Amino acid sequence: RIVYLNGEYLPEDKAKVSIFDRGFVMGDAVYEVTAVVGRKLLDFAGHEARLTRSLGEIGIENPFAEGELLAIHRELLARNDIEDGGIYLQVSRGNPGDRDFVFPDPAVVKPTVVLYTQSKPGVLQSESALHGVRVISVPELRWHRRDIKTVQLLYPSMAKMMAKKAHVDDAWFVEDGFVTEGSSNNVYIVKDGVIITRPLSTDILHGITRAALLRYVAETQIAVEERPFTIAEAQAADESFLTSASSFVTPVVEVDGVAVGTGKPGPIAQRLREIYIEEALKAGI
Ligand code: PLP
């Protein structure tokens, strides 16, 4: 695999980052994942805009000139001959030369930029899309700026491990009795034909797939209510689903051991997956 590191395209085993890099030592970095389907980037502009916002929120200078990020994405896709999969991007505050809590002077220390491709042939035909996923709830223990897409993914990883141990697919975080989001996705329930999902705030990541899907749904007759919901509501819902760049729209069929609706992917979730994929591919670049 050819990867991108600080302006260079390198074989992955030649791409090296300092042990002092703040991304490594402090988790001082933000990231994005952009889906690739049929050689097209989905929702690229949204991911670029969120990256700019994340960098701004933690005060890392945006290292990309206008158009540069897209050019790097395209170059990596071409060099690695990627048809389906994704591109991972990470920008850390860089290497200050030693460990220090205080941010280094941005005039001296430049951000570390890493991008690499992930090939997933036939990414649209997943088992989880076909059969839906099962989830458990776990306490929400992340920090309270979940709107910033930082690489601090220890607790989400632990939540995934709890799910794995429970022989299910994923975990939903619950705070003050309400679901915030999934370990790496935004979550929804459908009741009486209405899609219910938590409104944007610092409580959740502002999903790019969520934003695109809600734009597409606005063109249909399906109503959306942005409000928090509980696990009991999810268990009593007609349907449930989740969204993310790597899973698109994926049905959720079980929450904490209770089947949602029929226990099979619901018609609205399946239709939304089709709508999202069709529209995102049409708009893909
Ligand atoms: N919420 C969390 C915590 C995530 O990690 C992700 C994706 O990684 C999402 C939501 C979905 O965001 P997007 O649709 O931009 O991939």
Closest-CA residue, ligand 1 atom 12, reads 207
Atom of ligand 1 nearest to the CA of 211: 14
> What pLDDT, in 10s, does the model give residues 219-252?
999 999 999 999 999 999 999 999 999 999 999 9
Rounded-to-integer distance, Cα 285 and Cα 275, Å? 17
- Is 149 known to be catalytic? yes
Pocket lining: 237 vs ligand 1, CB cutoff 6 Å? no
Are 205 and 186 contacting, i.e. CB atoms less than 8 angstroms apart?
Answer: yes
Closest-CA residue, ligand 1 atom 2, reads 184
Confidence of residue 14 (pLDDT cuts 50, 70, 90): very high
For 57, counting Cβ atoms within 10 Å of its Cβ (0-12 exposed, 13-18 middle, 19+ buried), the class is middle
Q: What is the pLDDT of residue 263?
A: 98
Beta strands in the chain, from DSSP E residues, in sequence order: 2-5, 8-11, 29-37, 40-41, 85-92, 112-119, 133-139, 170-175, 178-182, 186-191, 194-197, 223-226, 239-244, 248-255, 258-259
Confidence of residue 184 (pLDDT cuts 50, 70, 90): very high
Q: What is the pLDDT of residue 243?
A: 98
Pocket test residue of 205, 213, 243 for ligand 1, highest count of atoms within 8 A of CB: 205
**Residue percentage of the chain with pLDDT more than 70:** 100
Please give the mean pLDDT across all residues of the chain: 98
ipTM above 0.95, yes or no: yes
SS3 content of the chain, % helix, strand, coil (to 5): 30, 30, 40
Pocket lining: 208 vs ligand 1, CB cutoff 6 Å? yes
Pocket lining: 171 vs ligand 1, CB cutoff 6 Å? no
Pocket lining: 207 vs ligand 1, CB cutoff 6 Å? yes
Q: What's the 98 CA to ligand 1 centre distance in angstroms?
A: 32
CA distance from start to end of the chain: 22
Pocket lining: 184 vs ligand 1, CB cutoff 6 Å? yes
Rounded-to-integer distance, Cα 153 and Cα 142, Å? 9
30 SS3 class: strand
Confidence of residue 83 (pLDDT cuts 50, 70, 90): very high
For residue 117, the cross-strand partners are: 87
Q: What is the pLDDT of residue 17?
A: 98
Q: What is the pLDDT of residue 141?
A: 98
Pocket lining: 48 vs ligand 1, CB cutoff 6 Å? no
Query: Catalytic residue among 149, 160, 165, 282, which?
Result: 149
Q: Set out the domains of the chain in order of their start, with CATH numbers.
A: 2-119 (3.30.470.10), 127-283 (3.20.10.10)
Q: What's the 220 CA to ligand 1 centre distance in angstroms?
A: 24
Are 151 and 30 contacting, i.e. CB atoms less than 8 angstroms apart?
Answer: yes
Instruction: For residue 219, count other CB atoms closer than 10 A to its CB.
Output: 9
Confidence of residue 285 (pLDDT cuts 50, 70, 90): very high
